Amino acid sequence: MTKILITGSSGYIGNALWVYLKKNYIIRGLDKYNSRYLKSEKIDLLNLKKLDHYIKSYQPDIVIHLAAQSLVDETINKKKYYLNNVVATKNLIFCLKKNKIFNLIFSSTAAVYKYKNTPIKENDNLKPVSAYAKTKYECEKLIKKSNLNYIILRFFNVCSSFKIKNKIAGELHKPETHIIPTVVYKSILNKKIYIYGNTYKTKDGSCVRDYIHIQDICSAIKKCLKKMKNSNKIREIINIGSQSKITNLEILHLVKKITKSSLNYEIVKNRKGDIAYLICSISKAKKILNWKPSNSKIKKIIKDEIMWVKYLIKNNIKRTFKNYL
Ligand SMILES: NC(=O)c1ccc[n+]([C@@H]2O[C@H](COP(=O)([O-])OP(=O)(O)OC[C@H]3O[C@@H](n4cnc5c(N)ncnc54)[C@H](O)[C@@H]3O)[C@@H](O)[C@H]2O)c1
């Protein structure tokens, strides 16, 4: 069986991926924090010596590098971003090359692209604006000049949860800043929801985004593993989204309908840096990976998020929010 190493395995996507892949792969995960669910090795990518030792002893065939500082609210702390994204990636590349491990899958972001109000393709113009996006772009450049085999995945808005057998995987960022987990959680608990802006040039004035179900993210990564295993040389950048166009207000009204809750919300001023549209073209993913999303209809996304919120409530696990959301 192929040996996989997941960095950032205590995080949302890392944990879900582990649950998703564990039947078919030998997997280990590392993270600077312990995992609530799986046994991640507690290693900070900034600790070069420990990282090198671990990689040398495990000798993975493929590394999936998800570890990052990614919460939007913390973009002000530029140093934290530089260290946990750029320096961490530099360290990982160094250790991989030193130990003759040549296959890397990297999670980048749609935030590296220049604004466009139609589906974005991989060769469209780039213009990373936030500290987060800038550091992710730096990581991409490091990987591209590393001589490793790589697949850089630019994820759009990852969301929702899934259950395999008795294992459930879902999103629990602290604080939570993403709209779907926020709206679903607050609707169920009848707390006030704040929507940033209704004056964008979109069909209802609120922002339009492309939501991709976590299970589809996992299936895309699984396709990458297969592709990498069967190619001597692969160097690709691929968007992963659903090519859907959902507005914030549509999410709000759909959640109200599904949860049968009364809507307790307020429109507040636009959030700095937010853009009207961010939509993914998935034609390259279809062509190169033979992948397409099959769980990312917005109703399914919301229903599966409700399942996760019920799990959180049942286990007395609280979501925390910052600022308005
Ligand atoms: N969730 C999304 O919507 C989304 C969208 C686009 C891109 N991405 C990217 O996907 C990846 C995973 O996202 P996520 O939502 O699971 O993030 P997350 O914040 O839930 O998980 C990231 C994990 O990385 C770990 N980490 C950070 N710095 C580390 C270090 N120096 N050493 C070891 N571990 C470290 C954190 O402890 C955390 O557990 C990230 O790279 C993110 O930028 C996510």
Range of the domain at 123: 3-160+212-241+280-293
**34 close to ligand 1 (CB < 6 Angstrom):** no
Residue corresponding to tokens 């280990």: 28
Does residue 78 lie within any of the structural domains?
yes
Residue 325 has pLDDT above 50, yes or no: no
Question: For the chain, what is the mean pLDDT?
Answer: 94
Tell me the CA–centroid distance for residue 171 and ligand 1, in Å: 11
Residue 50 lies in a domain: yes
Q: Count CB neighbours of 141 within 10 A.
A: 11
What's the pLDDT band for 35 if we cut at 50, 70, 90?
A: confident
Q: Which amino acid residue places its CA nearest to atom 15 of ligand 1?
A: 12
Task: Give the confidence band of 322 by pLDDT, cuts at 50, 70, 90.
Answer: confident
Between the alpha carbon of residue 40 and those of residues 8, 44, 231, the distances in Å are 9, 11, 29
Reported as a single tens digit per residue, the pLDDT across 261-306 is 888 899 999 988 889 999 999 999 999 999 999 999 999 999 999 9
Paired strand residues for 63: 5, 104
- Whether residue 187 lies inside any domain: the answer is no
Looking at residue 123, what is its pLDDT?
Answer: 98
Whether 177 lines ligand 1, by a CB cut-off of 6 Å, is: no
The strands making up 277-278's β-sheet, listed across from edge to edge, are 246-247, 208-209, 277-278
Q: Which residue has the higher pLDDT, 62 or 320?
A: 62
Q: Is residue 189 part of a domain?
A: no
Question: Residue 92 falls within a domain, yes or no?
Answer: yes
Question: 309 lies in a domain?
Answer: no
Map residue 174 onto helix, strand or coil: coil
- Does residue 41 lie within any of the structural domains? yes
CA distance 140 to 112: 10
Q: Is 170 in the pocket of ligand 1 (CB under 6 A)?
A: no
Range 245-249 average pLDDT: 97
Cβ of 44 closer than 6 Å to ligand 1, yes or no, is yes
pTM over 0.95: yes
What 8-state DSSP symbol labels residue 105? E
Which H, E and C letters describe 199-253, residue by residue? CCCCCCCCCEECEEEHHHHHHHHHHHHHHHHCCCCCEEEEEECCCCCEEHHHHHH
More confident: 79 or 108: 108
| 3-class secondary-structure state, position 71 | coil
pLDDT at 160 over 60: yes
Residue nearest to atom 26 of ligand 1 (CA): 67
Closest Cα to atom 20 of ligand 1: 11
* CATH number for the domain harbouring residue 285: 3.40.50.720
pLDDT digits (tens, 9 = 90+) for 47-98: 999 999 999 999 999 999 999 998 765 556 788 999 999 999 999 999 999 9
Nearest to 69 by CA among 34, 102, 109: 109
- Ligand 1, atom 27, lies closest to the CA of 68
**CB 31 less than 6 A from any atom of ligand 1:** yes
Task: List, for residues 178-191, the tens digit of each pLDDT value.
Answer: 999 999 999 999 99
Q: Is the Cβ atom of 174 under 6 angstroms away from ligand 1? A: no
Q: Using an 8 Å Cβ cutoff, are 240 and 156 in contact?
A: yes
Q: Quick one: which atom of ligand 1 is closest to the CA of 35? A: 39
The pair of structure tokens assigned to 188 is 């169920």
User: Which range among 84-88, 160-164, 236-240, 271-275 shows the weakest confidence by mean pLDDT?
Assistant: 271-275
pLDDT of residue 263: 82
Instruction: State the distance from the centre of ligand 1 to the C-alpha of 8, rounded, in angstroms.
Output: 6
* Total domains in the fold of the chain: 1
Token pair in block for residue 212: 């991709």
